[in-house]
């Protein structure tokens, strides 16, 4: 399967990237989101707002309620399709009842120990929710244990894009291991985000500059709302 546009840069980051390289890629994440939002595509319109909500509001809501609403899962799907390749999934997703969404997300977000496989299986009981969409829900639930199954991040690892549960579990384990190797406050979610950003920087021809060698993610403040680029 051909790599997604820009994924060669993600491959390079994964293969030889230092902490400073990952930090540089992550620093450009918000700029890449803004560029996507402004590219004129219907599927990416409003991505800046959705991305800010996904990173800054949804995790605390899930932590408080232990579940998602139907509105939440629809917005996550909009975010997922805006950041990646568009697929006609929304009509089927909206066919899920509120009760089914609450039941499945509550089962997946239990605080008692569950395997990643069990959590994904609980979420994929919903129509139009496969492992990739489930991974977005799980990142919102616990970004220290789960990473969004982004195409560009999968390309980077070399395991091949295959939207199955076994492939997601392999991918997630690699994100967990890389976060551990990078140390500091790196999480699987931040590793996946940095790889996606590296790919998009290549697409948008954004030069990734290394600044402070030991700068860590908490100093980047990835929970701050993205800033829009000024246009003349």
Angle at 3 between CA 87 and CA 210, to 5 degrees: 110
Angle at 47 between CA 226 and CA 221, to 5 degrees: 25
pLDDT over threshold 50, residue 216: no
Distance CA 97, CA 226 (A): 32
pTM, two decimals, is: 0.91
Q: How far is CA 98 from the centre of its chain?
A: 24
Question: What is the per-residue DSSP string for 190-216?
Answer: HHHHHHHHHHHHHHTT-------TT--
Burial of 230 per CB tally in 10 Å (0-12, 13-18, 19+)? exposed
Q: What pLDDT, on a 0 to 100 scale, did the predictor assign at position 217?
A: 58
User: pLDDT digit string (tens) for 169-194?
Assistant: 999 999 999 999 999 999 999 999 99
Q: What is the mean pLDDT of residues 17-42?
A: 95
């Amino acid at each position: 399967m051909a790599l997604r546009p820009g994924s060669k840069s993600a491959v390079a980051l994964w293969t030889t990237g230092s902490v400073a390289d990952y930090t540089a890629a992550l620093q450009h994440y918000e700029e890449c989101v803004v560029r996507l939002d402004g590219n004129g595509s219907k599927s990416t319109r409003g991505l800046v707002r959705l991305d800010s909500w996904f990173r800054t509001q949804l995790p605390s809501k899930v932590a408080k309620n232990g579940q998602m609403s139907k509105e939440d899962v629809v917005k996550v799907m909009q975010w997922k399709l805006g950041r990646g390749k568009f697929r006609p999934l929304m009509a089927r997703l909206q066919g899920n009842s509120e009760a089914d969404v609450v039941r499945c997300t509550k089962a997946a977000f239990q605080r008692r120990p569950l395997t990643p496989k069990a959590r994904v299986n609980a979420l994929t009981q919903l129509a139009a929710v496969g492992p990739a969409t489930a991974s977005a829900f799980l990142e919102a639930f616990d970004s220290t244990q789960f990473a969004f199954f982004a195409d560009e991040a999968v390309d980077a690892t070399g395991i091949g894009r295959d939207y199955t549960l076994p492939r997601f579990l392999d991918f997630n384990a690699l994100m967990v291991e890389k976060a551990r190797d990078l140390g500091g406050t790196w999480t699987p979610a931040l590793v996946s985000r940095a790889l996606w950003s590296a790919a998009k920087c290549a697409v948008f021809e954004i030069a990734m500059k290394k600044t402070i060698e030991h700068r860590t993610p908490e100093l980047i403040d990835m929970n701050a709302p993205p800033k829009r680029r000024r246009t003349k």
